[in-house]
């Protein structure tokens, strides 16, 4: 049995793999695929429904529909039994796309202490903090700008929430008085929001 790699070794390996995958998939989806996705917003619901139906059947093998479950087949091809989340997006108001991928096989997942995620997840457990994150993700960057929106409360309350989010790694100081979601947290944040809303 191979020794379990340290977190730094796993991160380095994942970064190398991301670079390889980005190089291999440098061609974006065709305009026809993009148009089809825009014309059929219910496609996501269809995939979710199919996924739910599959999970209701105990012992179901890997679905053979590689067109619908292309990401799942890629996961199995590269990790076998495991979990991966990945994404590529250009945040609103930015010209710099963000790409991120994280994955662990079942042996790596077995080494995770769920309690270690408590602080990071707890920081997101307040509606105002999520609204602040969304506003900052969408381009609002200072407490003064955030203070113009009555949903966020007083400047003191905003600072309290911003510092809690920064302490958990969800925000960083871009420059004096300006905040942003760190690039390495954009995809994880969007993934958690998708999980929470669907």
For residue 86, list its beta bridge partners.
101
Question: How much is the pLDDT for 72?
Answer: 87
In which residue ranges of the chain is pLDDT below 70? 1-60
User: Position of tokens 């700008």?
Assistant: 145
Question: How much is the pLDDT for 52?
Answer: 45
Question: How much is the pLDDT for 137?
Answer: 96
Report whether 165 contacts 171 (CB < 8 A): yes
What is the SS3 assignment for 27-94? CCCCHHHHHHHHHCCCHHHHHHHHHHHHHCCCCCCCCCCCCCCHHHHHHHHHHCCEEEEEEEECCCCC
Question: How much is the pLDDT for 34?
Answer: 32
SS3 category, 102: strand
Question: How much is the pLDDT for 27?
Answer: 36
Question: How much is the pLDDT for 142?
Answer: 94
Question: How much is the pLDDT for 64?
Answer: 82
Question: How much is the pLDDT for 67?
Answer: 87
Question: How much is the pLDDT for 71?
Answer: 86
pLDDT digits 0-9 by tens, 111-122: 999 999 999 999
Name the pTM for this structure.
0.66
């Amino acid at each position: 049995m191979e020794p379990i790699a340290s977190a730094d070794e796993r991160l380095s390996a994942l970064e190398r793999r991301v670079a390889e995958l980005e190089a291999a998939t440098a061609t974006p989806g065709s305009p026809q695929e993009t148009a089809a996705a825009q014309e059929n917003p219910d496609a996501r619901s269809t995939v979710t429904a199919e996924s739910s139906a599959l999970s209701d059947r105990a012992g179901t093998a890997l679905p053979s529909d590689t067109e619908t479950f292309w990401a799942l087949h890629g996961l199995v091809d590269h990790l076998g039994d495991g979990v991966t989340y990945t994404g590529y997006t250009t945040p609103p108001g930015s010209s710099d796309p963000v790409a991120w991928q994280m994955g662990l096989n079942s042996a790596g997942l077995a080494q995770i202490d769920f309690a270690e995620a408590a602080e990071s997840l707890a920081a997101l457990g307040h509606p105002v903090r999520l609204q602040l994150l969304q506003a900052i993700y969408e381009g609002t960057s200072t407490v003064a700008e955030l203070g113009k929106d009555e949903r966020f409360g007083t400047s003191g309350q905003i600072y309290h929430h911003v510092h809690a989010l920064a302490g958990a790694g969800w925000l960083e100081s871009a420059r004096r008085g300006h905040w942003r979601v760190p690039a390495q947290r954009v995809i994880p944040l969007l993934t958690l929001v998708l999980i929470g809303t669907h």
